[in-house]
Structure 1
């Protein structure tokens, strides 16, 4: 597997088609990109390891066996610190740029206030990324060249699946730092958090099936706390229109060394478990979104 960090960013995403897709699923990894362009790295005051603190490292590889099991997988090639796909397209911090923001920019969102807008100001360790203020034109270029093509492809694939099966299920894959759970006793620390925007972004059958499968696989699973799903889950989850979006967050301590950002001894086991989970979730589609007794009658 290719765990290495790169600097050559050509395509905004990689898309691995399913060998034979037989269920309405698309898995997506928007924060696991490892291509750090030279211009971006040179503009930062952080070293390579520090820059990667916001990266959902190796999540694309954790789910990389899915296409061979009939499930397509989409992943960003660029990192979250460079451009965050799980934000609205123009959540921008006016203090980061030399010029005034365009009137359509959203600069007052909580995400911008925390330094984690579409163009992030900090990495997750609350460290400032940039040496100097940025050119607004350069930031807007990132959105045009990488953000918009990514979401265009995501929409296209979901529409294709919806036409083929009558509905589509987006599983948005992320990872979370283990340190946020250090205050909890070891038995209460979640391995996985599922986010469905508190029941809004997908049918409850999908959430319940994912929860049951993961629990049966031996994981400690939580729901919506503290991660209920971001922009992608909220934006693409339209259950009344047959579009269902569920976020899954894996505790990084399960599969990697968080200090060195290297795969851990359990990487292969977690990868196998996530492939198993995905296959079982795919097989459950025949039981998902079942009509109520009243509706059936």
Structure 2
């Protein structure tokens, strides 16, 4: 199976969806713990939730493999992105702290090196190619990294996560005008709570490619899953909730497109 699915668009916008994949390698599938077999830390249904970006004209990149094989939003040297609890390039624990693999069933170093070369590298090479293409065609490029997570995970954050979590690497991955536009969209509604650079400031993708000084603007959006799906197995899609959430997601993406264009 190819490591990703890519659809080119007609706008200077690339939407990256690195954590929706459920494909497993044979050794990972054989080694998963009982707690991990249902792939609980997946960004369920995110391609469906953001399908509207295709109509807008965005390019879309979707990872095929589960983060339990390799996490596409972590640096290749596996350096921690947060000082608080997190998971690494090759997750050894679930978000709740349970082991990802049964005892003695962790993939070997050689197998994981293969995942880096055959899954992680191609995904990031595609990001780089597309951003370069967009810059060459439009003079600038926009990268929107789409994520979701269960709304309550005590190991990772206290209480319930805000509904909309915008990350700009502390303001370094995009211009202030971009952030201000996203904040204005969030402030114009009162259904969903929101925060900028709270618990989720942006993972490796946002931090590595967001270079406003080089005309590449990047933002990450981490969504609380209860607003569009069930957070317990089988993680069912909930159309009514999803439609309501999309009424805010669409203006957010449109604001990014409008504010991301150089003056």
Note whether the superposition's TM-score is higher than 0.5. yes
In the alignment, which residue of structure 2 is the partner of 1:101?
none
CA distance in 2, matches of 1:110, 1:62: 26
Which residue does the alignment assign to 2:236? Answer: 262
- Equivalent position of 1:168 in the other structure: 141
Structure 1: which 5+ runs fail to align? Answer: 1-9, 92-105, 291-297
Q: Determine the structure 2 residue equivalent to 1:34.
A: 22
1:120 matched to 2:96? The reply is no
Compared with structure 1, are the counterparts of its residues 28 and 220 closer, same or farther at alpha carbon in structure 2 (3 Å cutoff)?
Answer: same
The C-alpha deviation readout for 1:177-200, integer Å capped at 9, x for no partner, is 21147736xxxx621011111111
* Secondary structure of residue in 2 paired with 1:55: coil
> How many residues of Structure 1 are paired with residues of Structure 2 in the alignment?
255
Deviation at 1:284, TM superposition (A): 4.4
**Counterpart selection for 2:47 from 60, 67, 70:** 60
- The two structures have a TM-score, normalised by structure 2, of 0.87
8 Å CA contact retained: 2:24, 2:65: yes
Q: Unaligned 5+ residue runs, structure 2?
A: none
Q: Take 1:112 and 1:215, find their aligned partners in 2: how far apart are those partners?
A: 29
What residue number does 2:205 align with? 232
Q: Within the alignment, does 1:198 sit opposite 2:170 as a pair?
A: yes
Decide which structure has the larger Cα Rg and report it.
1
User: Is 1:282 paired with 2:250?
Assistant: no
Displacement of 1:255? 0.6
Instruction: Give the CA RMSD over aligned residues.
Output: 2.4
2-structure distance, mates of 1:54, 1:281:
27
Q: How far 1:274 moved relative to its partner?
A: 2.3
With structure 1 as the length reference, what TM-score do the two structures score? 0.78
Moved more, 64-73 or 192-201: 64-73
Equivalent in the alignment of 1:183 = 159
Report SS of the residue matched to 1:142: helix
